[in-house]
Amino acid sequence: MHQNPLIMSTPPSITSDDPYTLNTEDWGRTRYADAFARQLERVSMRVDGTIGDTLIFTEHEPVFTIGRHKNAEQHLKWTRELLAHNGVEVELTNRGGDITYHGPGQIVGYPIIDLNSTKDLHRYLRDVEEGVIRTLQPFGISAERRPGLTGIWIGKRKIAAIGIAVKQWITYHGFALNVAPDLAHFSGIVPCGITDGTVTSMQQELGSAPSMDEVKYTLAVEFQRIFAMYAVHVDEQTQLA
């Protein structure tokens, strides 16, 4: 199966003397279980210091993933027969959140970020949301948060889901941005357990889909800018010590 390479192996720095680099990897099309195992490998490598902060991109084969939220499995609507007919797998996962869909045409981002300098999971979640919001802006999409809910919204239309986890203050799991997935697959679940909203995509909002590589590049640049601030926090702590 053909896999498009990422445009750049490393996004440009904010300034010429910016000390922070967010590495990027593009895994192409993956099965969810395989990607999860590879994530855990990267987490161990980040703990050991053998890799730096890394943003992983992938597109999953069609799958419903069930998070740690209580009774999340009850929001799966399709029978085994319908799942098989539509070629959609089901996977239990240890990320936060409810049930969601991943599939081709959706950019899944897995930031492997060291939070030991802040140990602030709430800030990290808000920063992941901010990275996606900023990414959508140059494409002409004005998105926002909804009070009390995670993810990124255009009114009551959800365009990106977010579910995170940490191990030894190294992050994994992440976000799923709908560029041009088959939205009909979301009918097999109550997406994220939310009943007063719908799901949308960049393609649906714009009338045509931007290229996946262009969106990945923009995500990499925006996440680089946001997480460079964590490096600034480390420098400030060093100066105070």
CB distance 95 to 128 below 8 Å: no
- For residues 166, 168, 170 and 174, what is the CA-based torsion angle, rounded to 10 degrees? -10
CB distance 88 to 102 below 8 Å: no
Rounded Cα gap, residues 198 and 30, in angstroms: 26
240 HSE (CA, 13 A, CB side): 6
Rounded Cα gap, residues 227 and 96, in angstroms: 21
Question: Choosing from 63, 192, 209, 226, which is the catalytic residue?
Answer: 192
192 carries an active-site annotation: yes
Residues annotated as part of the active site:
192
